[in-house]
Amino acid sequence: MTESNARTRDIADQPAIAIAGGGSVLRPLKAAEVVARAVVRTIRSEGLQTGDSLPSEAEMLPQYGVSRESLREGLRLLEVQGMISIRRGPGGGPIVGTVDSANLGRMEALYLHLAGATYDELFETWVFAETTLAGMAAANPDSEARHAAMAPYIDGLVDEVVHGDLDVYMSGHEGFHGSVAALAGNRVFQVTFRAYGQIVAHHLAMVGDVKLIHQELVDDHLELAQVISEGDPERASTLMNQHLTRVLALNRAQLGTLLDGDVEWV
């Protein structure tokens, strides 16, 4: 048994932290959290978009009425979540980031790990979430939106070549599921449900070799795109369930003993 395998098994044998029933929702906020929320409100109220510049530190200090330390800590909280990025050097400063379910997935993975959640539980949730999104996407009453979102996959406009750059390849694969989620018409589902897929995708990419099932993925996406475009919710849900079940079956052997432990914090 390798050192990493032994560590995984040792962790799985230890009691996890019990999931709290609530009670911390109304706790007092720290100064940095207050600042972070104020910055987010500024982004929304001013309609700022990804890549737009935020005020400089010198401008933010009097604007929010906090210490330099609290301001920097608040910005760091947002940076960790991908909500902003800090441009270094002359002319740099904070810029608006992205609303990316991958960032939510990283935080969720931390909680799942400490709670002792298993990979089987994660996979079950992932299949449920993506199956639900597929059905909602196909049920979207805007037929033009369905056709437009799925057309690139039906018409072969999406590059089907296996990219050597894993990040580019995974972004392309996840792009299909992101398009499906957007069609569901519920932004809460779109962000939260896709986070599970981001956790799974990270593990499959880092531990296994998803490129080995490239053609299966392309074929499944084509069939799903056609059914969603046609507006058949029941068939779309069924096909998505079959697609993900097949992906898991093909990757289980590669994941190996990782599946014996808790969900890792990615």
* Tens-digit pLDDT profile for residues 175-196: 899 999 999 999 999 999 999 9
Return mean pLDDT, the chain.
Answer: 88
Residue of 82, 84, 57 whose CA lies nearest to 71: 57
Q: Give me the residue label for tokens 């990219």.
A: 163
CA-to-CA distance for 133 and 114, rounded, in angstroms? Answer: 28
CA-to-CA distance for 111 and 196, rounded, in angstroms? Answer: 13
pLDDT the model gives residue 11: 63
Q: How many C-beta atoms lie closer than 10 Å to residue 22's C-beta?
A: 6
CA-to-CA distance for 114 and 103, rounded, in angstroms? Answer: 18
DSSP string, 150-195: HHHHHTT-S--S--SSHHHHHHHHHHHHHHHHHHT--HHHHHHHHH
User: What's the pLDDT tens digit per position in 28-42?
Assistant: 899 999 999 999 999
User: What's the pLDDT tens digit per position in 48-107?
Assistant: 999 999 999 999 999 999 999 999 999 999 999 999 999 887 778 899 999 999 999 999
Structure-model confidence comparison of residues 199 and 210, the more confident one: 199
Residue 59 has which token pair?
A: 């401008």
Q: Give me the residue label for tokens 């569901």.
A: 184
pLDDT the model gives residue 131: 98
Per-residue confidence band for 217, with pLDDT thresholds at 50, 70 and 90: confident
Q: How far apart are the first and last CA of the chain?
A: 23
Q: What are phi and psi of 65, to 5 degrees?
A: 65, 45
pLDDT the model gives residue 1: 41
